[in-house]
Amino acid sequence: MEYKQIIMQSDDCDPDRPAHPGIFPAHEAGKSDHEPLELSVDFPVSVVLPAGGTGERTGLQTPKQFCSFLGRPLISYTVQAFERVSWIQNIVVVVAKENMALMTDIIQRFQHRKVRAVAGGSTRHRSIYNGVLALGGDGEEESPAADRPKVVIIHDAVRPFVEEDFLYKIAMAAKEQGAAGAIRPLVSTVIATTAEGYLDHSLERAKYRASEMPQGFTYDVIRQAYQRCTESDFEFGTECLHLALQYCGTNAKLIQGPPTLWKVTYKRDLAAAESIIKDTLSRSACVITGGSAQAVTLADALQKAVGALDMELEVVPDLMGGNAGSLLKEWNFIQVSVNRSSLSEVEALLRDLDAANRALLHPVVVIWVHLSCSDELSISGGAVQPAAIMELASAAKIKNILLYGIQLHQSKDTERWERSVLKVAEITSALIRERSPALVGQLLQA
Amino acid sequence: MEYKQIIMQSDDCDPDRPAHPGIFPAHEAGKSDHEPLELSVDFPVSVVLPAGGTGERTGLQTPKQFCSFLGRPLISYTVQAFERVSWIQNIVVVVAKENMALMTDIIQRFQHRKVRAVAGGSTRHRSIYNGVLALGGDGEEESPAADRPKVVIIHDAVRPFVEEDFLYKIAMAAKEQGAAGAIRPLVSTVIATTAEGYLDHSLERAKYRASEMPQGFTYDVIRQAYQRCTESDFEFGTECLHLALQYCGTNAKLIQGPPTLWKVTYKRDLAAAESIIKDTLSRSACVITGGSAQAVTLADALQKAVGALDMELEVVPDLMGGNAGSLLKEWNFIQVSVNRSSLSEVEALLRDLDAANRALLHPVVVIWVHLSCSDELSISGGAVQPAAIMELASAAKIKNILLYGIQLHQSKDTERWERSVLKVAEITSALIRERSPALVGQLLQA
């Protein structure tokens, strides 16, 4: 099997949306150092996302797919993971009837495109089948075969971290083999139990795998499998790959996926998912110096200090010209003001972020660092008014921008100055990582 | 099978240790509302904790069992889960030779009792066998049979949230049946693969279970199983229950455990574990009013506000007499000072916490809430000095106590006052939940 990798220009330029709506880690453990290649797929691919679950295993009232992470429901992250892939054409989210209005609202609020909500059936297989039929234009309006997708990818709403390169592997294998699915090694030994609750035997772990999502099928295979399967399959079955084998004779190609494909199942998984999202958003920040020499010195020192805290800083004098790109790709901004208690620079930054619709998908953090050089205090604009930054922060919070302040004094005592810089770095890093709405508007001391 | 449940007095009164060294949730989803009953076990039970893993699946350099959570390594949490159980006698932690010194240091630093570190073998089974032999006094010193445990519980170092009631079930079933193990329902379908990487068949999910830990064995069964098993079992085997079946003919009793038994395996699991620990520590706080009427009014209002944020507040005038118990069971303290910019009350609280060795196992949060009533400003001790609280916080941090400050003004405008109280509640809740060392010493505005 050969996978073509072609570098293409993205033709995906909706002016209302950020250029990079969000990147998620290819592997949990490390950063990805390279820009992903654009992958070329020359056949139509669409997606069915069953999202009808009731969330009983998390012990929460809200089904997992509708639980909020930094103010956005999980399903929206999953949808976004597919809609940013240029070669995916349509996404059908299958939800319980009582959640149709909620899903429609989510699609509008987060400006999702390519996405449609469809009402589900009483079981997982019935819901997926509804989604497949919706893609084929079956039902009320029959659509010509040419409009049907060649490949249908089925994924879970509660596996938000799927990456384009893995979707590509599944789509290509599905087209070639008729069916393909993600697998992972087993974490625990699997054992068979007797009816009385005793050990019967244990399986040899190496021979078995956990079947995960995404899975891919040619449209014809998945549709035929559902047309031919029994009521009992619809009622009790869990494995689409099994239906393809039993009713179409298609042996699915199995591809090992990354650990990030795991399914948000228990309450602890919500914390794990939030942590992955926060990690992704806190890898870098943009420091705006305004060009002042003292600010540049501070920014350079900060750059070294936060490097040790596993964050990268880009230092720019402003966000004009060639630096304007940072406005569209960064999630964190540090505005340094020297001897100016006025918040005008921060106000301008907030206006720019708002105009770029930057905080649509994730909260953006803005940290105002006020550096005062004591011997110049008399010419400065006076002391900072805590009330002013609190007021500005309250207004920004409504627009999903989290504003915090840090004050520090320049010191000629090197040791003292280094301690202050380290403190700014630690506070900055903690604020960016936590993204706590409760602490906005605070003026912290470094 | 009958489980005896007897309420006993704890005879576990080491004056150097907190009375309740830590409680963890029985179920992830909810709080446990009742005090756990003491369970009576009238035979000797000891524990083997294999902790030799290298942590390759988290993608981190430090093996998972030595990763720190709020300043304490995971293995210490697991050890604590066993040592707080009165009927468990000895705990053997089996570590790789190169980690013996580290483990010994952990045992000393966190004042663990009943615990011994033993060097492991080259595989998991060899390590467990070493641990079992160490319990039996085999090796250099042979101990009389009477000193050997009746039941050996084997658990993973990376499953820190095991509860006494479940250990009790395993120990009792192991004594009756010879072997017992925890199981969980399968989260994913398990499939068999062909040598070429295609689907062979999928298993019927209802017939199988994931085998988890803890497992329990009579000493004789586990020792015999290891004495009789082959080199190949030692080298490639993973399942102790299987060895008991194959070499002793013992069919293990399988008992379904709670979801919190899961194994910290991937990097995301570290975040999940930290979140469970933080949840447990942030369920309640103790508000100390000093008896002032304004402070009591504020405390009552706070009590209502944080209730909505899922935290319980206990309001006391001081920590004397009957209230002294709070000092030994709370992880969070809110000291309200009215019109007093002096930090003397907080200083006294910090001294008491230090004297009680309260922050040995978890960081303790102290929040100083400074309420100023503006019309009385002239008689008060003047404005709060940010430098004073920062200095106090730096000293407290070394002792694992995290001190933060919040200032608010009493207002006769009801709406404004309620907004301030809500803000104190939100900030308090966020500080307690996050336990951020970077923000200690800050004086926040409500």
- For residue A83, pLDDT over 90 is answered with yes
Q: What is the pLDDT of residue A61?
A: 77
Q: What is the pLDDT of residue A49?
A: 98
Q: What is the pLDDT of residue B308?
A: 81
Residues 6+ apart with CB under 8 A from A336: A287, A288, A289, A290, A292, A295, A298, A299, A369, A371
Higher pLDDT, B89 or A29: B89
Q: What is the pLDDT of residue B306?
A: 87
Q: What is the pLDDT of residue B141?
A: 52
Measured in angstroms, the CA of B137 and the nearest CA of chain A are apart by 30
Query: Can you tell me the mean pLDDT for B316-334?
Result: 94
- For residue A8, pLDDT over 70 is answered with no
Could you tell me the pLDDT band of residue B146, with boundaries at 50, 70 and 90? low
Measured in angstroms, the CA of B59 and the nearest CA of chain A are apart by 5
Residue B422, both tokens = 């809500």
Residue of B nearest to A186 (CA): B190
Q: Cβ–Cβ of B191/A254 closer than 8 Å?
A: yes
Residues of chain B in contact with residue A245, where contact means CB-CB under 8 angstroms, are 199, 201
Residues of chain B in contact with residue A251, where contact means CB-CB under 8 angstroms, are 194, 198-199
Give the whole-angstrom CA distance, residue B436 versus residue A431: 10
Q: How many CA atoms lie within 13 Å of A243's alpha carbon, on the beta-carbon side?
A: 28
Smallest Cβ–Cβ distance between A438 and the set B181, B427, B437 belongs to B427
Residue of A nearest to B276 (CA): A268
Could you tell me the pLDDT band of residue B273, with boundaries at 50, 70 and 90? very high
The verdict on B427 touching A (C-beta cutoff 8 Å) is yes
Residues of chain A in contact with residue B277, where contact means CB-CB under 8 angstroms, are none
Give the whole-angstrom CA distance, residue A321 versus residue A438: 35
Q: Are B174 and B249 in contact (CB under 8 A)?
A: no
Give the whole-angstrom CA distance, residue B39 versus residue B5: 5
Q: What is the pLDDT of residue A54?
A: 65
- Report the predicted TM-score, pTM, of the whole model to 2 decimal places: 0.89
Report residue A358: phi and psi, to 5°: -70, -30
- For residue A145, pLDDT over 70 is answered with no
Give the whole-angstrom CA distance, residue B435 versus residue B430: 8
Could you tell me the pLDDT band of residue A29, with boundaries at 50, 70 and 90? very low
Could you tell me the pLDDT band of residue A233, with boundaries at 50, 70 and 90? very high
Residues of chain A in contact with residue B58, where contact means CB-CB under 8 angstroms, are 29
Q: What is the pLDDT of residue A30?
A: 39
| C-alpha separations of B196 from A182, A212, A251, B59, B179 in Å | 15, 18, 11, 28, 38
Q: What is the pLDDT of residue B102?
A: 96
Smallest Cβ–Cβ distance between A252 and the set B198, B253, B255 belongs to B198
- Encode pLDDT of A375-416 as tens digits: 554 444 567 788 999 999 999 999 999 999 999 999 889 999
Residue of A nearest to B271 (CA): A272
The verdict on A269 touching B (C-beta cutoff 8 Å) is yes
Least-confidence region, from A7-16, A92-101, A280-289, B265-274:
A7-16
Could you tell me the pLDDT band of residue A38, with boundaries at 50, 70 and 90? low
Give the whole-angstrom CA distance, residue A270 versus residue A262: 12
Residue B340, both tokens = 């007093």
Smallest Cβ–Cβ distance between A28 and the set B30, B59, B254 belongs to B59
Residue B362, both tokens = 């978890």
Q: Cβ–Cβ of A190/B208 closer than 8 Å?
A: yes
Smallest Cβ–Cβ distance between A266 and the set B242, B259, B266 belongs to B259
- Encode pLDDT of A330-351 as tens digits: 999 999 999 887 899 999 999 9
Q: Cβ–Cβ of A208/B211 closer than 8 Å?
A: no
Q: Cβ–Cβ of A192/B211 closer than 8 Å?
A: no
Q: What is the pLDDT of residue B382?
A: 60
Q: What is the pLDDT of residue B385?
A: 82
Higher pLDDT, B316 or B29: B316
Measured in angstroms, the CA of B390 and the nearest CA of chain A are apart by 9
Which residues 34-63 of A have a C-beta within 8 angstroms of B?
Answer: 57-60
Least-confidence region, from A238-247, A337-346, B343-352, B422-431:
A337-346
**Average per-residue pLDDT for chain A:** 88
Angle at which helices B293-308 and B414-434 pack, to 10 degrees?
60
Report residue A178: phi and psi, to 5°: 95, -30
Least-confidence region, from A58-67, A159-168, A304-313, A424-433:
A58-67
Residues of chain A in contact with residue B305, where contact means CB-CB under 8 angstroms, are none
Q: Cβ–Cβ of A442/B445 closer than 8 Å?
A: yes
Measured in angstroms, the CA of A409 and the nearest CA of chain B are apart by 13
Smallest Cβ–Cβ distance between A445 and the set B203, B209, B386 belongs to B386
Q: How many CA atoms lie within 13 Å of B361's alpha carbon, on the beta-carbon side?
A: 29
Least-confidence region, from A136-140, A277-281, A400-404, A431-435:
A136-140
**Average per-residue pLDDT for chain B:** 88
Residues 6+ apart with CB under 8 A from A67: A55, A58, A60, A73, A74, A270
The verdict on A330 touching B (C-beta cutoff 8 Å) is no
Measured in angstroms, the CA of B11 and the nearest CA of chain A are apart by 34
Q: Cβ–Cβ of B199/A266 closer than 8 Å?
A: no
Query: Can you tell me the mean pLDDT for A271-279?
Result: 96
Q: Are A24 and A118 in contact (CB under 8 A)?
A: no
Which residues 159-218 of B have a C-beta within 8 angstroms of A?
Answer: 177, 179, 181, 183-184, 186-194, 197-199, 201-203, 205, 207-212
**Residue A38, burial from CB neighbour count under 10 angstroms (0-12, 13-18, 19+):** middle
Query: Can you tell me the mean pLDDT for A131-159?
Result: 82
Least-confidence region, from B90-94, B266-270, B304-308, B333-337:
B304-308
- For residue B10, pLDDT over 70 is answered with no
Which residues 224-243 of A have a C-beta within 8 angstroms of B?
Answer: 238-239, 241-242
Q: Cβ–Cβ of A198/B430 closer than 8 Å?
A: no
Report residue B332: phi and psi, to 5°: -140, 135
The verdict on B272 touching A (C-beta cutoff 8 Å) is yes
Beta bridge partners of B435: none
Q: Are B240 and B167 in contact (CB under 8 A)?
A: no
Residues 6+ apart with CB under 8 A from A352: A319, A327
Q: Cβ–Cβ of B210/A190 closer than 8 Å?
A: yes
Residues of chain B in contact with residue A233, where contact means CB-CB under 8 angstroms, are none
Query: Can you tell me the mean pLDDT for B273-298?
Result: 95
Query: Can you tell me the mean pLDDT for A45-70?
Result: 84
Q: Cβ–Cβ of B241/A28 closer than 8 Å?
A: no
Q: How many CA atoms lie within 13 Å of A220's alpha carbon, on the beta-carbon side?
A: 10
Residues of chain B in contact with residue A439, where contact means CB-CB under 8 angstroms, are 427, 430, 439, 444
Residue of B159, B191, B428 to mutate, interface with A, max A Cβ within 10 Å: B191
The verdict on A405 touching B (C-beta cutoff 8 Å) is no
**Preceding amide of A50 cis, omega within 30:** no
Give the whole-angstrom CA distance, residue B63 versus residue B57: 9
Residues of chain B in contact with residue A273, where contact means CB-CB under 8 angstroms, are 268
> Between A and B, how many residue pairs show a Cβ–Cβ distance under 8 A?
212
- For residue B186, pLDDT over 90 is answered with yes
Give the whole-angstrom CA distance, residue B211 versus residue B181: 7
Measured in angstroms, the CA of A267 and the nearest CA of chain B are apart by 7
Q: Cβ–Cβ of A268/B251 closer than 8 Å?
A: no
Residue of A nearest to B425 (CA): A438
Q: Cβ–Cβ of A199/B181 closer than 8 Å?
A: yes
Residues of chain B in contact with residue A201, where contact means CB-CB under 8 angstroms, are 242, 245
The verdict on B443 touching A (C-beta cutoff 8 Å) is yes
The verdict on B404 touching A (C-beta cutoff 8 Å) is no
Query: Can you tell me the mean pLDDT for A149-156?
Result: 97
Residues of chain B in contact with residue A276, where contact means CB-CB under 8 angstroms, are 268, 271
Residues of chain B in contact with residue A29, where contact means CB-CB under 8 angstroms, are 58-60, 267
Q: What is the pLDDT of residue B29?
A: 38
Q: Are B317 and B348 in contact (CB under 8 A)?
A: no
Give the whole-angstrom CA distance, residue A402 versus residue A390: 11
Report residue A134: phi and psi, to 5°: -65, -35
Smallest Cβ–Cβ distance between A259 and the set B260, B266, B438 belongs to B266
Q: What is the DSSP string of B354-404?
A: HHTTTTSSSPEEEEEEEEE-GGGTTTS--S--HHHHHHHHHHHHHTTEEEE
Which residues 67-106 of B have a C-beta within 8 angstroms of A?
Answer: none
Q: Cβ–Cβ of A198/B252 closer than 8 Å?
A: yes
Higher pLDDT, B208 or B24: B208
- For residue B32, pLDDT over 80 is answered with no
Beta bridge partners of A286: A314, A333
Q: What is the pLDDT of residue B238?
A: 80
Q: Cβ–Cβ of A199/B445 closer than 8 Å?
A: no
Beta bridge partners of B372: B409
Q: What is the pLDDT of residue B143?
A: 60
